[in-house]
A and B are shown apart, each in its own frame.
Chain A
C-alpha cells in the first residue's frame, strides 16, 4: 500500500511539473510587460504601466484591435448561424450520405492551415479581387466552422428528442417548436460555439498572415510585424492584454452557463 501512495505522488509531481512548464512562459510575458526598461528582459527593474500607456497612444495597434474585435464578432455570429442548422440536420434527421457530409464539414481541421491560407488567397487572386476585410471574414468562417460544428453537435446530442416531439404533437409548427423548445435548450451550445469561434478568429495567425494587408490587420498579425525587430516590452504588454481578454471570456461564460444551469 505504501508503494502505491508513492507512485501516486510521483504522478502528482509530474503533473505539477508539466503545469509549471506550460505556464512559466506565459507568466513571464505578463511579468515582463510591467518592466519599465527599454529591453523586455530579466531582471525586473521596478513596476510600471508605461508600456500599456504607449500602446494606448499607438493608433495602428488600436486599429488592429478594433479590426480584430469586429472580425471576431462577425465570424462568431455567421459561423454559428450556419453551423446550428447543420448540426440540427445531423442530429435530428436520417438521410443519405449523412456520415460523409458530416466528415466533410469537420475534416477541414485536418487540412494544413498554411494550405488553407494559400488556397483562399490564390482563388481571390484568380478572381482578380484585391485583399479585403471580406477575405478575412470568409476565411475565418471556414476556419472556425468545424470547431463550432463539433461543439454544437456534442451539446445537441444531449437534448432529448421527446421535448420537440411533445411540442409537435401538441400542434406547434416546426418553426414554433424550434423557437420555443429547441432554441432555448440549445442556447448554451450556441453561446459556447460563438465564443469558441470568436477566440479562434481573434487568435489565428497562420492563415491570417496570408490574408491580412497593411490596412486590414488583426492583433496577432500586428504582433508578428512588431516581432521582426525582436521582442519588446510593448509586445509583452499587448500579449498580456490578449491573454486576459481571451481567457476571461470563456471563464465568465462558463460561470454564467453553470449559473443558469443551476437555476433552471
Chain B
C-alpha cells in the first residue's frame, strides 16, 4: 500500500524539481534582489531597503509606463474581443466541410515565430509598405503616410500575436454549449437573435473571460511589439525591464520593476481565479 501512495510523487518528482529549481526559486530571488542596493563597481549589496521602489514612484515617469501598459493591454483585450468573437461564432456554427482546414488556418499563426509576425507589419505599414504602395499608385496620396512607430502599429503587432488565443478560448466555450438548449428556445418561439442573446452569449462568457485574462497577461509580459513597431513614446513596462537589465545593467532596479509587473499580473490572475476559476484558461490551451 505504501508503495502505491508513493508512486504519483515519484512520477511527479522530475517536473516538480525542474519547476522549483528553474522557476520558483529564481522568481523569488528576483523579489529578494529588488531590495538590494546597487553598487557602481562590482557586486550589488544585499540589503532590505525600499530605495528601488522609491525610485520607481519618485516621479511620474515610471508610473506612467505602468499606466500605459494597463491601457494598451485593455485596448488589446477589447480589440481581440471585437475581432475574435464573430470568427469563433462562425466556427461553432458552420457546417462547411472545410471547417477543419479553417480551424487549422486560425491555429497557424500560433506556430509562426512571434518576431516574424511582429516585424511582418513593417512590410504592410512602412513608408514603402503595401498600404502606402497601393495608395500612392492609385494616386490617393502624394507622399507616404507614416503609419509605423506609433501606438496603432504596436496594437497591430499585439493583435497579430494574441488574436488566436482569444478565438480559441471563445470557440472552446461555444463548442461546449448543448445545442438542444438552442433548439428548445427556438421551439418556444425565440428568434435566432433572441436565442443567441439569451443562451449562446451568456454561456460563452467563461471562454470570453478566459480569453480576456490570457490576452491581458500576455500583453503585460511582452516588449517586442513596442520595441519593433513603436516609437520612443510607446514603451511598456516590459521594455523598461529589458532596458534596465540589458542596457544599463541596473539589476536591483530591474528586479523592482519586474516585481511590480509580477504583482500587477498576480493580482489580476488571483482575482480572476477567485471569481471564475483559472482552469477555464487551461481548458482551451490543452486542446
Measured CB to CB, the residues of A under 8 A from B are: 4, 7-8, 11-12, 14-15, 18-19, 21-26, 28-29, 32, 39-43, 81-83, 85-86, 88-89, 92-93, 95, 101, 103-116, 118-123, 125-126, 138-139, 141-142, 145, 147, 149-151, 153-154, 174, 199, 202-206, 209-210, 219-220, 223-224, 227, 231, 235-236, 239, 242-243, 246-247, 249-251, 254
Contact = CB atoms under 8 A, between A and B. Distances in A.
Contacts of A104: 16, 19
Contact of A114 (B18, B193, B258): B258
A9 B216 CA distance: 31
Contacts of A243: 112-113, 116
Given A11-B86, A14-B86, A41-B126, A223 B12 contact: no
Interface string B1-15: 000010111111011
28 contacts: A24-B124, A25-B124, A41-B128, A41-B133, A42-B133, A89-B9, A93-B11, A110-B269, A112-B238, A114-B221, A114-B223, A118-B241, A118-B254, A118-B258, A119-B29, A141-B18, A141-B22, A202-B113, A205-B114, A219-B113, A223-B113, A223-B115, A227-B228, A231-B123, A239-B116, A239-B119, A242-B113, A242-B116
Nearest to A8: B93
B139 to A, nearest CB: 15
B154 interface: no
B223 A95 contact: no
A254 B119 contact: no
A39 B265 CA distance: 41
A88 B262 CA distance: 31
Interface stretch (B50-58, B59-67, B103-111, B201-209): B103-111
A109 B113 CA distance: 17
Q: How large is the interface on B (under 10, 10 to 19, 20 to 34, 35 or more residues)?
A: 35 or more
Nearest to B287: A154
Given A15-B86, A120-B26, A206-B114, A236 B123 contact: yes
B236 to A, nearest CB: 10
Dominant SS among interface residues on chain A:
helix
Contact of B111 (A18, A122, A220, A247): A247
A46 B10 CA distance: 61
Nearest to A109: B285
Contact of A123 (B29, B121, B128, B193): B29
A24 B159 CA distance: 13
User: 3 smallest A-B Cβ distances: which pairs?
Assistant: A112-B221, A154-B286, A41-B128
A249 to B, nearest CB: 8
A13 to B, nearest CB: 10
Contact of B15 (A85, A112, A121): A85
